A and B are shown apart, each in its own frame.
Chain A
Amino acid sequence: MMWLSGGFIFRRGTSVYHRLDPRVKLLISVLMFATTLLVRSIYELSGVLAFMIVVAAVAMVLKRVARTMLFTAGFSVFIFVLNFIFTRNLDTSLLYASRFVAIVVSTSLFFITTSPDELEQVMKTFRLPRDVVFAFVTAVRFIPVMFLDTIQIMDAQKSRGLELEKGNVLKRVRNMIPILIPLVVNSVVRSGELAEAMESRAYGAVPKPTSLVEYRARATDKVVALAAAFLFALTAYSFYFVFPARIL
């Protein structure tokens, strides 16, 4: 659970990368994602991973990204083994396993550098309905709260003799019930309270609400976006025409 939080929860940052327009950050992550799908060899993929590390360093989130990479790598061993059993091909198995890591990291990079407010702005740009955007942003805003709630619930139940660390798999799953039920109930109650507060502050009064903050793309953002697109095009071109497929 800690790994999940390290890999996907936004934390404030002051790097140049953080200050980019969120749409540009999205573009960069999407292009990274696309690049990992285009690679056909482990060498090309390591190039992509190296690039990701460089970006992470620029964004000053290197430690978190490195940790995410490590934990995902542990997971991807499973993919490697499964793939190997069926294809008996070391290189492709390695490729698929590492591709998984790269996909997770490219996604993680977006989420850890983009605040829920920025996420909201991106969603608005894609013309998603207001209710959907609002539900999403509110949900993200409450992630840290639910995290704390879970810990408090676990504390309370441990104090009633619940042993969370002992027992076989079946027992451990059953022991989750005293944790999950209060969590779910609290979430439902919370939704009710939020609904009351929303109504009391005139949610839905006007079909097109105004916005306190406006996001406008600066020259820097446009330049970075262009550079990213260019780099991607170059990479794709080189994969297909300059370095023909080595494996597969």
Chain B
Amino acid sequence: MKALDGVSLKIGSAETVAIVGENGAGKTTLVKHVTGLLKPGTGDVTVDGQNTRTTSTAQLSRKVGVAFQNPDHQLFSESVEEEMSFALRNFGFAPELVEQRVRWGLELFGLEEYRKSSPLVLSGGEKKRLTLACILAWDPEVVILDEPTVGQDSIQKEKLAGTIRMLTSSGKTVVVVSHDIEFLWPMQPRVVVMKAGRVVGDGRARELMQDKRLLDSARVAQPQLVEFFQRLGERPEAPFADPLEARRWVEETRR
């Protein structure tokens, strides 16, 4: 059985893409192909012109930062600042630049107080922020987040959404693999739906998430606001991105 079957996907710069699908649909497998952790049996994967068969993962990672789901699979240094400089040193950043980027990352993610602490004593949420900080420090053009909201409370998710907005507005390509449809919905990304190793849907969230049949067959949840929108007799053109939008529409329609 193939883990991936005839997948063709083009992602351009400054795009925000969500990859959804049930466990085992091939989402993580696909992500691993982007940086050459897995090499395709047939077909090719190219990142900014470089073929993943002939370029090492380390080199590809300079351009594509992948934040894996489990921070405990990466943290190992004696201090948070050392942890943050690990990748920078691997990528050959000059020492002054390393210091600058470490400082920037710690500030952005509110981790300055932990600079000299061991990364292993941080809480789960802090570890996740740290791994993301480590990646952004080397400023890749593409950032891939694999299930970034698992185990996060709403405050942490808000912060994460803010970080993604910041990345998108600074022109980065952001790919989020997630089950958390409610988290993804307000971002209105391009959505790629996967099922059994294939891409069964690819389009704007606004349209795609209305296709109940597709979503059901791929075992993907439909955002609550889309269901709400579809059940309204009289409604606007596109589903509401957030509760405030919906409320505004109700107000206007009442007049």
* A contact residues vs B (CB 8 Å cutoff): 149, 152-153, 155-163, 165, 177-178, 181-182, 185-186, 189
Contact = CB atoms under 8 A, between A and B. Distances in A.
Q: Which of B35, B68, B73 has the largest count of A CB atoms less than 10 A from its CB?
A: B73
Contacts of A182: 72-76
Contacts of A153: 73-74
Contact of A160 (B56, B70, B120, B134): B134
Given A158-B58, A161-B61, A165-B56, 15 more contacts: A153-B73, A153-B74, A155-B68, A158-B37, A159-B61, A160-B86, A160-B90, A161-B90, A161-B138, A163-B56, A178-B74, A182-B72, A182-B73, A182-B76, A185-B72
Nearest to B89: A161
A10 B154 CA distance: 44
A186 B61 contact: no
Interface in B74-116: 74-76, 86-87, 90-91
Contacts of B61: 158-161
B21 interface: no
A177 B76 contact: yes
Interface of B: 32, 35, 37, 56-58, 61-62, 65-66, 68, 70, 72-76, 86-87, 90-91, 120, 134-135, 138
Given A159-B65, A160-B87, A185 B37 contact: no
12 contacts: A149-B73, A152-B68, A153-B73, A156-B73, A158-B61, A160-B86, A161-B86, A161-B91, A177-B76, A182-B76, A185-B72, A186-B73
A162 B75 CA distance: 13
Contacts of A161: 58, 61-62, 86-87, 90-91, 138
